[in-house]
Amino acid sequence: MNPKYASLWEPFRLPVSGIDLKNRIMMAPMTTWSGNPDGTVSDAEIEYYKKRSGGAGVVATACAYVMPEGKAFSGQIGVHSDDMLPSLTRIAQTIQKEGAKAILQIHHGGRMCPPGEVPEGQPVSASAVAAEREGAAVPRAMTEEEILAAIKAYGNATRLAILAGFDGVEIHGANTYLIQQFFSPHSNRRTDEWGGTLEKRMKFPLAVVDDVLKNVKQYATSPFAVGYRLSPEEMEEPGITIEDTFQLVDALAEKPIDYLHISTLDFWGGSMRDESDKRSRTTLIQECVGNKIPVIGVGSLHTPDDVLKVVEEGNVPLVALGRELLMEPEWVQKAQNGSTDKIRTTLSVHDQDELVIPDNLWHGLITRKGWLPVVDNE
């Protein structure tokens, strides 16, 4: 083992659940588009997780929709009914048998749901405001009854994750989906108790956390982790600012949850709202609440040296890898055993079978320009 990277392999105890992670690396949750039409996991997805669960301390699954109204992707897995338990159990056991802790990411797409994926073809959100992207559907503003039902759906998803044997859930409050839509002044124009002031826009995210925690207390008979993923800023006007996020993370840090996962494309990247502000959003959040709750960093951390810099200079205790584990499922093992020169840093169009990537995900990886360095090495 290369002693240079020894700090990356140190165990880490999640502070609330007490779950021990064998190292500081998480596999980031990534959409696969590869589940079955009924929301169950496919055999190809199971093999994909198996291939990637031998190194990281924790593996977070692709997001699972908590109710049919929240399905945002073709081929998305579901955690919306007891019928999903056999499927969810397969995922949890597959990850755990390879040595990682299994975290289920729970999710509702809100206005980002394609009309063809949701009942009656009508996405819902905090307000009837479309996303600023081409072809975006105008959502219907949720009623009070629907808001309360969505909150309970996150709690029920947590119950199902517990029964399926997962080690925890990650609440998906990032990447422009429903929880973020309630927090955002762009998508939330409500004038009732669920919107308007920053405090009222925080009400839905915090209510989701509370319902998740209630279900953990009621159903978990062994340690069970709860994490929360968030995006620190939005480009839209009006949109979420880093000052808004400081208030949200302050409130989240007072809840008995295990970590905050900060979703950024580049860990060291600056503000998307102010080009003159070059400070890492994640390190700012670490400085704000890192003494109260563990922070997970992610984004363009390709090599062991990149990850080491985050841990040592950014003072962030945990690091999530996404694209890196798509290209190199044995990233952790190779970094540990001194074979860093053998870590793949490109995606060969000929390596699908060796990398064990399902067809739908594979098609997305090789056709999406600029997300991965795709090469034809023959």
Is 363's pLDDT higher than 70? yes
Mean pLDDT along residues 10-21: 98
Q: Mean pLDDT, the chain, as a whole number?
A: 97
> What's the full length of the chain, in residues?
378
Q: Quick check: is 65 catalytic?
A: no
Q: What is the residue whose two structure tokens read 């190779």?
A: 334
Residue among 242, 67, 232, 258 nearest 160 (CA): 67
Q: Which of 5, 177, 228, 259 does the annotation list as catalytic?
A: 177
Percent of the chain having pLDDT more than 90?
A: 97
**Residue 181: both structure tokens together:** 């839509």
pLDDT of residue 2: 79
Per domain, the residue ranges of the chain are 3-375
pLDDT of residue 377: 76
pLDDT band, very low/low/confident/very high, at 279 (cuts 50, 70, 90) = very high
Burial of 133 (0-12, 13-18, 19+ CB in 10 A): exposed
Mean pLDDT along residues 275-283: 97
Torsion sign over Cα 80, 81, 87, 88? positive
**Residue 125: both structure tokens together:** 């959100």
Mean pLDDT along residues 81-100: 98
What is the fold of 3-375? TIM Barrel (3.20.20)
pLDDT band, very low/low/confident/very high, at 1 (cuts 50, 70, 90) = confident
Distance CA 119, CA 121 (A): 5
Distance CA 258, CA 19 (A): 9
Distance CA 142, CA 204 (A): 12
pTM of the model: 0.98
* First-last CA distance in the chain: 33
The phi, psi pair for 60, rounded to 5°, reads -100, 135
Q: Where are the beta strands (DSSP E) in 33-157?
A: 58-60, 64-65, 77-78, 101-107, 124-125, 140-141
